[in-house]
Amino acid sequence: MNKLIINSANAVEEDIEEKIIDMMRPEFNFICSNPVRASILHLLVNSADVNHTMQVEYIAHRIGKRHSLVTYHLEQLAEWKLVEVVKNNRYGSKVKRSIWGLNLKYPNLIREIYTRILKIFFTQNDLEKMCNINRNARIHS
């Protein structure tokens, strides 16, 4: 978690964040227990070199899940204010949300969720395995 780059927030923003955390606390286990959501958060938290952002296709490839499933879980994480769309791309008349990242407006929320994932649901080793499904397949082929 020490790789997470956080901009310091002022007191008003911290108060808002604390209220959000208190409202969401009953849902923490539901959020953290899902391996797809945990994998997505793990990848984003540990991608400080790209400002905690990734393309949906890359996330899907890394965790070995369909693009549509990853998008579904990203949308859920966005509802909980953990991630946000960073960049949209246009494909003809369609606008697609192509790059997602951590919602750095709420660093304490992200920290609490990620800490709970590691303490209760998955080890660091578990998360690394879940996030390297296709990398491992290529290495052993």
Residues written for the chain: 141
Closest CA to 135 of 71, 53, 70, 64: 64
Residue ranges covered by each domain of the chain: 11-133
Distance, in Å, from the CA atom of 15 to the CA atom of 58, rounded to the nearest integer, reads: 35
pLDDT of residue 140: 38
Q: Looking at domain 11-133, does it have CATH number 1.10.10.10?
A: yes
Q: Give the pLDDT of residue 4.
A: 56
Do the beta carbons of residue 60 and residue 66 sit within 8 Å?
yes
One digit per residue, pLDDT tens: the chain, 141 residues? 545 555 554 666 788 889 999 999 999 999 999 999 999 999 999 998 889 999 999 999 999 999 999 999 999 999 999 999 998 776 677 766 789 999 999 999 999 999 999 999 999 999 999 999 876 544 433
The helix (H) or strand (E) run that includes residue 96 is strand 94-102
Q: What is the β-pairing status of strands 53-55 and 94-102?
A: antiparallel
Task: Report the DSSP pairing between strands 83-91 and 53-55.
Answer: unpaired
pTM: 0.83
